[in-house]
Amino acid sequence: MYLDLVKIFVPTAFAFFLGLFFTPFATHFFYKYKMWKKYSRSIETSTTDFKNIHNEKGELNTPRIGGVIIWGSILFSTLVFYTMGIFSPSPLSIKLNFLSRNQTLIPFFTLLLGAIIGLWDDLIQIYSDSKFARDDVSWRNWKAFLIALISFLIGIWFFYKLDMTSLHIPFGGDLYLGFLIIPFFMLVTLATFSGGVIDGIDGLAGGVLASIFAAYSAIAFANNQIDLAAFSGVITGALLAFLWFNIPPARFYMGETGIMGLTITLATLAFLTDSVFILPIVALPLAVTSVSVILQMLSKKFRGGKRIFRLAPLHHHFEAIGWPTYKVTMRYWVSSIIFSIIGIILAIISR
């Protein structure tokens, strides 16, 4: 038990301090090469509420690829402990290596693949003059297709390599899906990715995601998946380092390179810990954010343009009705911590 806790907390702390060290250099690079969007979202909207709350100057002068700091810290931390365990073997260094084929290899490469695709998206919006640089609908469809393709391949791995054919229902036994676990994983991944629209206020996404991944570290630990718990802890440490520099006013935004990699990795962790049906509780801020956008779209389409919310996603609605930005952020953080704790408890007692 003691060494298991060491295995989780040492890499987590390492990723945090590495992120703190790495960030000033990355920030200098981001600003030197003006790595921010060329086109504001306000160009695409005539909504008065949105223009009232939208900080166009900040959006067009703040780097948007801060997620590089997150996954860069995770990548380096993983490689450090892997290299120590392989090339300088000792009982402690071998124990600290959390990169394993049956637990962390898939989420590790999922994170990197999603981050690289997200970085490609960010660079298009920074340097391109095409319609894709304005986050065109066709480009959003392509991103959804890429996410679906990645999740399809991971779902195949789950089914054929890990023999994953059923999912645990809290307090209700197991639900057998067979090969249908592949499309179900695709659905969950797309739904989780859609919650990435939460990255719209300084520090909001970083704080919420840190709570969620910390919760999955605890859930994995309770499942005796120590490597997975350590990996989730490393993600948490990297997110907290990002948040250290991203507390309002933000020095940079997470961007797609952060959001895309983290959200599809979150879906992967939910399946590997067999807590998929706990995910909507642990990640409730992501869920309600995504649902608010869907409800707003449906309302406009079927109710003659009428809106349910002043603005969607939901956090912008709260801004539109007069909540200061810092209050929205802090209340989301508090809510995320509360529902993460509830999710941990449910995951443990429902077995």
The H helix count followed by the E strand count for the chain is 15, 2
Task: Convert the pLDDT of each residue in 201-243 to its tens digit.
Answer: 888 999 999 999 999 999 999 999 999 999 999 999 999 999 9
Burial 178-200 (b: 16+ CB within 10 A, else e): eeebbebbbebbbbbbbbbbbbb
Task: Convert the pLDDT of each residue in 39-96 to its tens digit.
Answer: 655 444 556 655 556 554 555 678 889 999 999 999 999 999 999 988 888 888 899 9
Contact 277, 168 (CB under 8 A): yes
Q: Where are the domains of the chain?
A: 2-349
Q: Residue 273's closest CA among 339, 195, 347?
A: 347
Give 173's strand partners: 169
Helical H segments across the chain, by residue range: 2-32, 48-53, 56-59, 67-87, 91-96, 105-127, 137-156, 181-194, 204-222, 226-246, 255-272, 279-282, 284-302, 314-320, 325-349
Give 169's strand partners: 173
CA-CA distance, 114 to 255, in Å (whole number)? 12
Mean per-residue pLDDT over the chain, rounded: 89
CA-CA distance, 179 to 169, in Å (whole number)? 18
Q: CA dist 101 to 98, 157, 215, Å?
A: 10, 12, 22
Q: Residue 286's closest CA among 350, 183, 215, 232?
A: 215
Map residue 131 onto helix, strand or coil: helix
pLDDT computed for residue 230 by the predictor = 97
Residue type, 43: I
pLDDT computed for residue 89 by the predictor = 86
Contact 253, 203 (CB under 8 A): no
Map residue 134 onto helix, strand or coil: helix
Q: CA dist 77 to 10, 19, 118, 168, 211, Å?
A: 10, 10, 21, 32, 20
Residue type, 17: F
Task: Convert the pLDDT of each residue in 294-312 to its tens digit.
Answer: 999 999 888 888 899 988 8
Which one has a higher pLDDT value, 124 or 152? 152
Map residue 297 onto helix, strand or coil: helix
Confidence band of 37 (pLDDT split at 50, 70, 90): confident
Tokens of 192: 């989780």
Q: Cα torsion at 277, 281, 285, 290 (round to 10°)?
A: 30
- Length of the chain (residues): 351
Single pTM value for the model? 0.93
* CA within 13 Å, CB half, 63: 23
Sign of torsion over alpha carbons 58, 19, 280, 109:
positive
Map residue 7 onto helix, strand or coil: helix
Q: Does residue 200 carry a pLDDT above 80?
A: no
Sign of torsion over alpha carbons 43, 44, 49, 53:
negative
pLDDT computed for residue 236 by the predictor = 98
Tokens of 114: 């999603």
pLDDT computed for residue 43 by the predictor = 40
